[in-house]
Structure 1
Amino acid sequence: GEKANYPRFYRQSLDKLAKEQRILSRRKKGSARWEKQRLKVAELQEKTANQRKNFLHHQSKELATTYDAVIIEDLDMKGMSQALHFGKSVHDNGWGMFTTFLSYKLKEQGKQLVKIDKWFPSTKKCSCCGAEKPMKLSERTYRCSCGYVAYRDYNSAINIKNEGIRLLALT
């Protein structure tokens, strides 16, 4: 029932980064001032990367210590960023880095990470009765013919959890 509430570090630093990059573009390449400005831009980018990495380490540690098994959907983030025009937002999340952190932290503690196939219809399936219906990305509320109504992502999370439990029972 909780949302991730990702802080969007790249979006926060975008204005400052754009300003510093504009200054860099006006400098003569190879000059001392250009090199100094290049380092400023690099430091801003490194700070953003470090903030993201720190946040992801904390989130993955919290999940790894709290739960014996974590179930996630194996998403194609590169494809999503290109196809759905969410490029900056998708890449700002660092999903691949998060799954890597989560995976090794769970493995260290002898716990399990279950990945659900990316083609599993988690969004289209009713978590109450199991019926499937097509949904547009713009539809944010899932409404089933059985009368079940829920927020789209919440319904999807329940379906992923149920599928993960089913897969755990098989092993």
Structure 2
Amino acid sequence: MSRHTAFRYCLDPTVEQQTVLARHAGATRFAYNQCLAIVKTALTRRRTDPEHPVPWTRFDLINAFNTWKKSAAAAPQDHGRWVGIDRGLSAFLVAATGDGREVVRIDNPPKPPAGGLARQRRLAKAMSRKEKGSRNRREAAARLARHHHRVANVRRHFLHQVTNQLVKIHDRLVVEDLHVAGMLHNRRLARSIADAGWADFERLLNYKLQWRGGTVVTADRWFPSSKRCPACGTLNPGLTLADRVFTCPCGYRADRDLNAAVNLAAWPRLRRQDPPRSPDLRAGGRVINARRQEGADRHPMGAGATGPDDAGTKASIPIGM
């Protein structure tokens, strides 16, 4: 009869050995996360290309990881260079340098409200049918609150992942000043815009990069990042939201989101050359926080009232007094 005995050991490494063990654990964690990112990227591409290979086995992962180590993405050289970040709905985020090199693209962000909208409606309808003040209504309200909490956690987790990926590689970022509150008035895109969490993304990006000693610059709200050609500086005022490819008469052609990110990366240099100007009202720009002149948009004092001269009650001043 065989008998198995387990033993527990406690390591007591020296300071040098602790450093080596910590480096080994960190390298292992980095390799695991990178292999996981490779598999997720392959699965995303497989949605549009069913023939795209996915490295499932250990040997395929080793080969994919070794190939990645030899690529330019393994050793980014963007420290000290400006990186523009364009946010959108078709692609949540596109980041690029001023020379036109795309460094990050996130096309398929999670959309928890859209995926759980049917469940949310069902839970809200079930709660509305319960008697107010009853225990069943409190339980239904708790179920609905748990659903909202889960949706918020999924969005927050995704935003933390994206911002961590950016601040760990780049230390000088340029984001656009989006008027999110105004965009929410568009009833067709309001739900998608609120689901994207653009304001939370910018807030997380700012404080995380400040912790690391980096710099985040916000481009002017009226900077035409999508309509400007980074090669010659020509503007294309006829570009619409339906146009996903930017073309210029000079021959430059690029993806709309990539073109906006490249122009945002060049914003710090352009700002020094051409200081920001007030928006062109004829072009549809709005003046924000404009101070109203005294008496503007008001009726003149005493408008429509009968004066002393009209009523003949003006007292006459005797001459010689």
- Structure 1 length normalisation: TM-score? 0.91
Say whether residues 1:73 and 2:173 are aligned partners: no
User: Counterpart in 2 of 1:147?
Assistant: 251
Aligned residues: 169
The one of 222, 239, 242 equivalent to 1:138 is 242
What's the C-alpha RMSD, in Å, of the aligned pairs?
A: 1.8
The structure in which a higher percent of residues are helix is 1
Of 86, 92, 105, the residue aligned with 1:3 is 105
Shift of residue 84, structure 1, vs aligned partner = 6.7
Q: 2:161 aligns with which of 29, 53, 58?
A: 58
**1:40-99, Cα deviation, whole Å (9 max, x unpaired):** 001000111111111111211221111111111111112122137311111111111111
Cα distance change on mapping 1:21 and 1:147 into 2, 3 Å: same
Q: Which AA in structure 2 matches 1:144?
A: C
Specify the structure having the higher radius of gyration (Cα): 2
Residue ranges of structure 1 left out of the alignment (5+ in a row): none
Equivalent residue number for residue 33 of structure 1: 136
Find the aligned partners of 1:28 and 1:84 in 2 and give their Cα distance. Answer: 33
- SS in structure 2 of the partner of residue 57 of structure 1: helix
CA change 1:84–1:168 in 2 (3 A) is: farther
1:43 counterpart residue number: 146
Counterpart Cα distance in 1 of 2:105 and 2:112: 17
C-alpha deviation, 1:167, in angstroms: 5.0
State whether structure 2 residue 214 is matched by structure 1 residue 111. Answer: yes
Tell me how far 1:114 sits from its aligned partner: 1.1
Separation (CA, whole Å) in 2 of partners of 1:21 and 1:164: 48
State the match for 2:79 in structure 1: none
| Structure 2 partner of 1:19 | 122
Shift, 1:139, TM fit: 1.6
How far apart are residue 111 of structure 1 and its match? 0.6
Give secondary structure in 2 for the equivalent of 1:66.
Answer: coil
Separation of aligned partners in 1, 2:126 and 2:151: 19
Could you tell me whether the CA contact under 8 Å between 1:74 and 1:115 is conserved in 2?
yes
Could you report, residue by residue, the CA deviation over 1:128-166 in whole angstroms, capped at 9, with x for unpaired residues? Answer: 211001112122221211122222111111111111455
- After TM superposition, the runs of 4+ consecutive aligned structure 1 residues lying more than 6 A away are none
* SS, match of residue 125 in structure 2: helix
CA distance in 2, matches of 1:123, 1:84: 23
Matched residues in 1 for 2:244 and 2:126: separation? 41
Task: Give, in whole Å, the separation in 2 of the partners of 1:70 and 1:30.
Answer: 51
Identity of aligned residues (%): 32
Deviation at 1:29, TM superposition (A): 2.1
2:204 to 90, 94, 101: 101
1:115 and 1:164 in contact (8 A); partners too:
no
Structure number with greater CO (CA < 8 Å, separation at least 6) is 1
Structure 2: how far apart are the matches of 1:84 and 1:19? 23
For 1:54, the aligned partner's letter is H
Matched, 1:123 2:211: no
1:87 lines up with 2:190 in the alignment: yes
